[in-house]
Structure 1
C-alpha cells in the first residue's frame, strides 16, 4: 500500500471518527434539551441530579420536588428516548429500502409499509384487544407492515413493474388501499376510542413509558446490525441486479429479506409512535451529502441523524402550540414535504 493510500485511509477514518463523535454529542445534547423544555422548564442541573440519583441511588441529595422528578424521569426521558429510537429505525429502514429499490424516493411511508403497520395497530387497539398484553400492538403492527410489503412486491411482479419508479408507484397504490382498510376499521370501531386512534395516526410520543422502550430496542438493535452487516450487498444492489448476481447475491431473495427487516422495524416503531412520515426519505440523502454513498456509513449515520431529527421535531411539536402537543407527524410532514419537492426539483436539474 502506497504512502498516499495510507494517508487517505487514515484521513478518512479520522473524518469518520470526528463525525461519529460530533453526532453522538449532538444526540446527547438534544436529549438533554428535550427533557429540559416544556410547559414546566427544567434546569439542566436538576435533570443531571435526577438522572444520577436514579442510576446511582443516594449519590445526590435531592433538592427538587417529587413532581419535578416525575416529569423528568417518568414523562420526558422516555419520550425523548422513544423519539430517538423511532427516528433511528425509520432512518435506517429508509436507507436500506433506497438501496435495494435503487430509488432515492423510497421510504417506509411511500412504500406503504407504515400504512400496513397502522392497519395492524388499529386492528389491535379497536377490535382484537390486547390479547397478548403489551406485545399485541407491535406484533399486529409488524404483521400489517409485512402484509403491505409483500403486497407491494406482489403488485409490482403482477404488473411487471420492474423499474424502481414503478415499484414506488406500486407502493403508493398499496398504501391507499391499506389506509382505506384502516379507515374502515376506525369507522367500525368504538366511537369513544376513535378520537385517540385518529390522534395516534397523526404521530405522537406523548404516551411513551419506560416499559414501552424494550420492544423498539429488542427489534432495532439486532435487525439494524443485520442490515449493517449486509451493507456490502446493499452497495452491490445499488449498481444493479446483474452486478449483484455476479457477486453471488440472489437479488429477489435479498430484496425480500430487506423488505421483511424493514417491515419489522417499521411495524414496531409505528406501534408506539403512530405514522411518522418522511424521516426515512430525508435522512439517507442528508447523510450521503456528508458521508458519501457507501452504505457501511450511510446506514449507521442515517440512524444517528434520524434520532437527532425526530427528537428536535418532537421538541418543536411540544413548543409551537404549548401547552398543547402538536402531532409530531404534522411537523415531519411539513418539513418532509418541502424536502420532497426540493429533491424532485434537484433530480430534474
Structure 2
C-alpha cells in the first residue's frame, strides 16, 4: 500500500488533503442558502414597510418593531403618521405577503414532488379556479352572512371542495394515477372557468368589476384579522410538508420503489394534496389569484439546492415570500397614486422566467424528462 492509497482523518472530519466530505459540504451549502434567503426576506420586508406616501427609513421601521417588543433600541419614525402607517397599513400587508408567498411557494414544491411533474402547481388541482367561483358567486348574490369575511370564507371553502372533488373523481380501484388526476384537474378548471363566465354574465357592472379585481390579485385589503386566519394555515401546511420531505424524496424514485421502501404512496398523496389545498386556498382567499409563484419558485430553488425536499420546501417558502413581498412593493410604487394588479405583475415576470427555465432544460438535458 502506498502513501497515496491512504488518507489521514482529522478531528473536523476532513482528510489530510483538506477536502470536506461531500455530504457535509452539501449541508453547509444548503444551510447558507436558507440563511441567505431569510436575510434577503428581512431586507425586502424592511424596504416594503418603509416605502409609501409616508417615507420611513429601515432603521425607523426596525426601531418601531423593537419598541413594540419592549426593547427601547433604535429610532422611532419621525413622521407624525409614521407609527399608524406602519402598524395599521403596512405591517399587516407585508406580513400577509410573506404568508401568502410562503404558502404558494411551498404548495408548488409539494405539487411538483407529489406528482413528479415539473408543470404541476396548486392551480392544477382546482384550488384557484374553485376559489374564484366561490368568490364570484358571493359577490353576485350579495350574500354577507359573515360581513367582510364572507367572500374570503366562500373562496377558501370552495377551493378546498374543488380540490377534493378532483381527487375523488380521479380515483379508481382505490388508487389515483397522476396523469388521471392532472387531466381531471384540467377538466374541472375548464368547467369552473365556464361557471365563472356565466356568473359574470348575469352580474351587474359593479359585480363584474369586483370579480375582475379579485381575479387579478391584490393585497390592498390586508388586515391583522386576515393575517391571524392565514398564519395558522401556513404554519400547519408548511409543517406537514417538512414532516413528509423524506418520503417525497423516496417517491421521486417512482411509485413501486417507494412502496417497497415502506412509503404509503396513496396515503402520502392524499395528505400532500390536502396540504396543498389548505395552503393555496387560505392564500388566495384574501388576495385573489396570484399566478406563477408556485410554478416558478421551486424550479429556481432546484437550480441552486437540487431536488432534495428537506431543503427545497423551506427554501421555496422563503423564495415565494421574497417574490410576493417584492412584487407587492413594485405594484404599489411603480405608478404614483395607482396600484397595479399583483397577480398580473407576477405573471408578467413569471411567464418569461418560466420560458427561460424551459429553454434551459431543453438545451441541457433534452427536455423535462
* Same fold at TM > 0.5: yes
Within 5 Å, which residues of 2 pair with 1:47-196?
47-56=61-70, 64-127=78-141, 129-132=143-146, 136-154=150-168, 156-157=170-171, 164=178, 167-189=181-203, 191-196=205-210
Task: Establish whether residue 31 from structure 1 lines up as the match of residue 45 from structure 2.
Answer: yes
Q: Which range moved further: 125-134 or 241-250? A: 125-134
Q: Map 1:215-254 onto structure 2 (within 5 A).
A: 215-254=229-268
Distance in 1 separating the partners of 2:75 and 2:256: 65
Match of 1:41 in 2: 55
1:281 corresponds to: 295
- Cα distance between partner residues in 1 of 2:239 and 2:147: 27
After TM superposition, give the deviation of residue 318 of structure 1 in Å. Answer: 1.4
* Distance apart, 1:128 and its partner CA: 6.5
Which residue matches 1:313? 327
Query: Aligned with 2:339: secondary structure?
Result: coil
Task: Give the count of matched residue pairs.
Answer: 346
Tell me how large the CA RMSD over aligned residues is. 2.8
Q: Deviations over 1:82-139 (max 9, x none)?
A: 1111010000000001011110110012443211122223334443634345664444
SS of the equivalent of 2:213 reads helix
Q: Distance in 2 between matches of 1:59 and 1:29?
A: 18
* Shift in alpha-carbon separation, 1:186–1:58, aligned structure 2, 3 A: farther
Structure 1 residue matching 2:145: 3-state secondary structure: coil
* Higher mean displacement: 62-71 or 253-262: 62-71
- How far 1:297 sits from its partner (Å)? 0.8
Greater per-residue helix proportion? 1
Tell me, yes or no, if the aligned pair for 1:113 and 1:146 is still in contact at 8 Å: yes
Question: For the structure 1 residues 194 and 69, does the alpha-carbon distance in structure 2 shift closer, same or farther, using more than 3 Å as the test?
Answer: farther
Query: Aligned partners of 1:126, 1:15: CA distance in 2, in Å?
Result: 51
CA shift for structure 1 position 156: 4.3
Is contact 1:156-1:170 (8 Å) kept? yes
Aligned residue in 1 for 2:3: none
Q: Report the CA distance between 1:343 and its aligned residue.
A: 3.3
Give the distance between the partners of 2:103 and 2:295, measured in 1 at CA: 12
Change in CA separation of 1:8 and 1:323 when aligned onto 2, cut-off 3 Å: same
Q: Give SS of 2:123's match.
A: coil
Distance 1:328 1:63 in 2: 28
How far is 1:300 from its partner?
Answer: 0.6
| Deviation of the 1:289 alpha carbon | 1.1
- The alignment status of 1:291 with 2:291, answered yes or no, reads no
Equivalent residues of 1:138, 1:267 under 8 A apart? no
Residue 317 of structure 2 corresponds to: 303
- Hey, what's the Cα distance between the residues in 2 that align with 1:185 and 1:274? 17
- In 2: Cα distance, 1:259 partner to 1:133 partner: 30
Measured after TM superposition, the shift of residue 27 of structure 1 is: 0.7
For structure 2, the 5+ residue unaligned runs are: 1-8
C-alpha displacement at 1:313, in angstroms?
A: 0.9
State the Cα distance separating 1:193 from its structure 2 match: 4.0
Q: Distance in 2 between matches of 1:59 and 1:344?
A: 48
Distance in 1, matches of 2:77 and 2:149, equals 38
Task: Determine helix, strand or coil for the equivalent of 2:338.
Answer: coil
Structure 1: give runs of 5+ residues left out of the alignment. none
Q: Deviations over 1:216-251 (max 9, x none)?
A: 111010121011101111112222111222123332
CA distance in 1, matches of 2:83, 2:200: 37
1:211 offset after TM fit, Å? Answer: 1.6
Higher relative CO (CA 8 A, sep ≥ 6), structure 1 or 2? Answer: 1
Structure showing greater Rg = 2
**Scaled by the length of structure 2, what TM-score is found?**
0.84
Distance 1:74 1:313 in 2: 20
**1:111 to 1:67, Cα distance in 2 relative to 1, 3 A:** same
User: 1:174-202 CA distances to partner (integer Å, 9 max, x unpaired)?
Assistant: 22211222333344445434423321210
